[in-house]
Structures are given as C-alpha cells and as structure tokens.
Structure 1
Amino acid sequence: MNLLQSLLYSRLAVVLGLGISQSLPPSLGYRIADLGAALVAARSQSAIVRAIYVNQWVVRGGNLTHSEMRKLTRKILRLHARNLYIYFHTLNRPQEVLERVSFSPEFQVLFDRLLQEGGPALIVTPHLSNFDLAGRALALRGLRFQVLSYPQPPGAYRWQNRLRRESGIEVTPISMSALQQARARLQNGGVVLTGIDRPVSETRYFPRFFGRPAPLPVFHVRLALQLNLPIILVACVGVGDGRYAVVARPPVPMQPAETLERSLLQNAEAVLHEAEVLIRQVPDQWAMFYPVWPEVASVLPF
C-alpha cells in the first residue's frame, strides 16, 4: 500500500470525512467530494488509480484509450466520493436513509420473506455504488444480519466497521471463529452477508470472473455447500439524484462436483456470473479499488 492509500484508508481520513460530511449541506459537501476525487484521480501512478485502470480495462473489454480511461477514473472516483459524503451525512438522519434507498420488486419479495419467515439466507454482494448506505437501510427496516468483513482490517476499516455496528449491523472480520459463528447463525435460520469481489492475498482458488482467473474468496461457497443452501446475490445501484435501489438476482443453487476444488470453483463462478450481470449494467459504479486481476497491470498500454 502506497502513501496515498495509507492516508485514504487511515482512521484520520474517516474521522475527517465524517466530521466534514455531517456538518456541510449537499451543495458544499458535493463540491468538496468532487475536489477530493479530482486530487486522487490526478495521481495517475497511484495504486488506487492503477487498480481502477486494471479492473475497468477487463470489464470493458480492453479497448479504452488512455484519455478515455483517465476520464472514466475521474468519474468513478467522483461517484464514490459523493456516495461516501451521503453515507456520512445521513448517519444521524435515519429517515433520510430510508427515503434515499428503495427496494426493487425482486428484492422486496426476498426482504419480506426474511422478515416474516426468517432464513437461513446466505447473501453476497459486489462493491457497487453506496453499499454501506444500503446495509444501513436494511438494518433500519428491521433486518438482522451478520456481515463477514475483510480480515485484520486497518484503521479506516475498523472505524467503518464501528459505524456499521452502531447502525445495528453485526460485523465480524473473517476468521475461523467468525466463520463458525456464521455457520451457526445460518443453521439457526439467520442471515449472513459478505462481499465477493475483493481479491485475497493468499489463495489456492482462482475462479473465473469476466473471463479471467481471479484471486477471489470462496469461503461463502464452502459454507453454502456444507449447509446445502443457495447463494443470493444482491447489490446497491445508484439511480440518480443521490438515490439508490437494492436489487437481487435469482438464487444460485449449489451444484456439487467430483472434487471439493471443482465444487468450490464452479459454484463460485456461477455466483460471480450474477455479479458480472449487475456490474456490466453500471460499470462506473463498481467501487473496487484493489486490482482483481493484478497480472493485467503489466500489459496495460498506458
């Protein structure tokens, strides 16, 4: 992690962002968010910008010019900065959160079933749009769930997890005990949610994502196979004017294969395919700032 990433992901950055966002109206908050995004985008060799280059290059078929990529990067960072502003700005405004986040008809059916009948439900999500705000809307509407988050989180992530807990969300960084807790929760009819598109540093498994092998997690697939559960992919999608919709894809049933490795890979790829469908619809909203395909960095033409 370079200096820029260290600063952006520091506890100080979260505290400053929270303080500024809560004290400023949108007219000023958006302007400061736009300025911050422009400053980050200008560092064309930073790890964050290069990660966006890698990820968008793959998602968009590898046919962007340098000028197009730079313009796209500024747009992605601007959207993300505004989403962060809205998330922080509404932390103490629960009614505004509910007004900003709606449910698609498909997700509403799932949500109503979970509230009325309970789970078990293993839900996964890509890092699309204002995913933290969507999680807060779920909690405010009465859904109780455990989030399996990034293991050994640095300072900024610990503060973000603290904010999630204060919103009524049970956050457990991934560990053996957290996975055991998630398994027990599912066995008792609960709901577990986790991300699926952040690359992991050490793995034996490289499921294909957008046609390329990627070092992405498969623990959710292992859980689903063990408990014979389908995996449900949901996501937050921006619909304009600072408003969002929570959408859902059809549940993915697990299909055991001849070996555990094959089972993990083929089912992970089936779930990732559902994520691809949503990301292709709104690629500008994919807020993944780590290179999902690190080997692509060496072949980028710029």
Structure 2
Amino acid sequence: MNLLQSLLYSRFAVALGLGISQAAPPWLGYHIADLGAALVASRTRSAIVRAICVNQWVIRGENLTRQQMRQIVREVLRTHARNLYVYFHTLNRPQEVLERVTFSPEFQDLFDHLLHEGGPAFFVTPHLSNFDLAGRALALRGLRFQVLSYPQPPGAYRWQNRLRRDSGIEVTPISMSALQQARARLQKGGIVLTGIDRPLSETRYYPRFFGRPAPLPVFHVRLALQLNLPVIVVACISVGEGRYSVVSRPPVIMQPAEDLEQALIQNTEAVLREAEVLIRQVPHQWAMFYPVWPEVATALPF
C-alpha cells in the first residue's frame, strides 16, 4: 500500500470526511467530493488508481483505450466519493436514510419474509455503490444480522466498523470465533452477511471471476455447504443522485461434488456469477480498490 492509499484509509481521513460531510449541505458536499475524487484520479501511478484500472479493464472486456480508462477511473472515484458523502451526511439522519434507500420487489418480498417469519438467511455482497448505507437502512427497518468483515482491520476500517455497530449492525472481523458465531446464528434461524469480492493476500483457492482465476474467499461457501443453506447475492445500486435500491439475485443452491476442493470452487463460482450480473449492470459503481487480478497490471496497454 503506497502513501496515498495509506492516507485515504487512515483514521484521519475518515474523521475529516465525516466532519465535512455532516456539516456540508449537498451542493457543497458533492462539490468537495468531486474535487477529492479528481485529485486522487490525477495520481495515475498510485496503487488505488492502478487497482481500479486492473479491475475495470477485466470486467469491461479487456479492450479499453487509455482515454477510456482515465474517464472510467474518474467516474468510479467520483461515484464513490459522493456515496461516502451521503453515508456520512446521513449518519444522524435516520429518516433520510430510509427515504434514500428503497428495496427492489424481489428483495422486498425476501425482507418481509425474514422480518416476520425469520431465517436462516446467508447473504453475500459485492462492494457495489453505497453498501454501508444499505446495511444501515436494513438495520433501521428492523433486520438484525451479523456482518463478517475483513480480518485484522487497520485503523480506518476499525472506525468504519464502529460506525456500523453504532447503526445497530453486529460486525465481527473474520476469525475462527466469528465463523463459529455465524454458524450458530444461522443454525438458530438468524441472518449473516459478508463480502465476496475483496482479494486475499494468501489463498490456495482461485475461483474464476469474470472469466479469470481470482484469489477470492471461499469460506462462505464452506459454511453454506456444511449447513446445507443457499447463498443469496444482494447488492446496493445507485438509482439516482443520492438514491439507492437494494436488489437481490435468485438463491444459489449448494451443489455437492466428489471432493471438498471441487465443491468449494464450483459453488463459489456459481455465487460469483450472480455477482457478475449485478456488477455488469453498473460497472462504475464497483468500489473495489484492491486488484482482484494483480497479474493484469503488467499487461495493461497504457
């Protein structure tokens, strides 16, 4: 992680963004977000910009020009900065959160069932749009769930996790005890949610994602196989300036295989294919700032 990325993910950056966002009206907040995004995008050699280039290059078919890529980087960062502004700006405005986040008909049916009849339900999500705001909207509407988050989080992530807990969300960085807690919750009819698209620094599994092997987690599929539970891909998608919708894909039924490794790979790929459908709909809203396919970096034609 280079200096720019370290600063962006520091507690200072989160505190600064939180303070500005809560004080600034939308016209000013969006303007500041746009300026910040343009500044980051201008650092073309930074790790965060290179990661966006790698990820967007793959999901858009690996045939972009230099000019197209520069425009996409600016759009991705601008979208993310504006989403952060909205998230921070509405932290103390619960009614505004509920007004900004709606549910698709498919997810509304699922939500109503879980709220009134219970689970279990195992949700997974890609890092699309304003996913933290969507989680807060779920909690405000009465849904109780456990989030399995990135293990051993650095300072900024610990602060973000604290904000999530303050919103009524139970956040547990991934560990053996957190996984045991999630298993127990699901066995008792509870709800668990985790991300599926952040690459791992070390892994023996490389499921295919957008046609390429990727070092992505498989623990959610292992847990789903053990409990014989379907996995449901959900996501937050921007549907207008500061407006969002929570959407869902059909449940992925776990399929057995001759050996565990084969079962983990084939079921993880089935889940990832559902995530691909959502990411392809709004590629500029995919806020993944770590290279999912690091080998592509040296092959980019710009």
Q: TM-score range by the shorter chain?
A: over 0.9
Q: Which residue of 1 aligns with 2:255?
A: 255
Report the CA distance between 1:139 and its aligned residue.
0.1
Secondary structure in 1 aligned to 2:217? coil
Counterpart mapping for 1:203-214 below 5 A: 203-214=203-214
> Which residue of the partner structure matches residue 58 of structure 1?
58
> What residue is the counterpart of 2:217 in the other structure?
217
What's 2:189 paired with?
189
Instruction: Give the residue type in structure 1 aligned to 2:50.
Output: R
CA apart distance, 1:241: 1.8
Aligned to 1:130: 130
AA of the residue aligned to 1:127:
H
**1:245 alignment partner, SS class:** strand
User: Could you say which residue in structure 2 is the equivalent of 1:106?
Assistant: 106
Point out where structure 2 has 5 or more consecutive residues left out of the alignment: none
Q: Which aligned pairs between 1:1-302 and structure 2 lie closer than 5 A?
A: 1-302=1-302
Deviations 1:86-139, CA, capped at 9 Å, x for gaps:
000000000000000000000001100110111110000000000000000000
Output the amino acid matched with 2:93: R
Deviations 1:32-59 (A, max 9, x none): 0000000000000100000000000000
Q: Distance in 1 between matches of 2:234 and 2:290?
A: 21
Q: Report the Cα distance in structure 2 between the residues aligned to 1:221 and 1:203, rounded to whole angstroms.
A: 15
The residue type paired with residue 210 of structure 1 is: F
**Aligned residue pairs, count:** 302
Q: Identity over aligned residues, as a percent?
A: 83
Letter in 1 for 2:28: L
- Structure 2: how far apart are the matches of 1:118 and 1:220? 20
Amino acid at match of 2:114: L
- Partner of 1:200, secondary structure, is coil
Q: Which amino acid is the alignment partner of residue 197 of structure 2?
A: D
Partner SS state of residue 122, structure 2: strand
After superposition, give the CA deviation of every residue in 1:168-193 in whole Å (9 maximum; x if it has no partner).
00000000000000000000100000
Inter-partner Cα distance in structure 2 for 1:227 and 1:57: 37
Q: Secondary structure at the match of 1:49?
A: helix
- Three-state SS of the structure 1 residue aligned to 2:142 is coil
SS at match of 1:193: strand
CA shift, 1:22, in A, is: 0.2
- Structure 1 segments of 4 or more deviating over 6 A? none
CA distance in 2, matches of 1:163, 1:150: 15
For residues 257 and 300 of structure 2, the distance between their equivalents in structure 1, rounded to whole angstroms, comes to: 36
* 1:218-246 residue CA offsets vs partner (Å, 9 max, x unmatched): 00000000000000000000001210000
Please tell me the residue identity of whatever aligns with 2:280. Answer: R
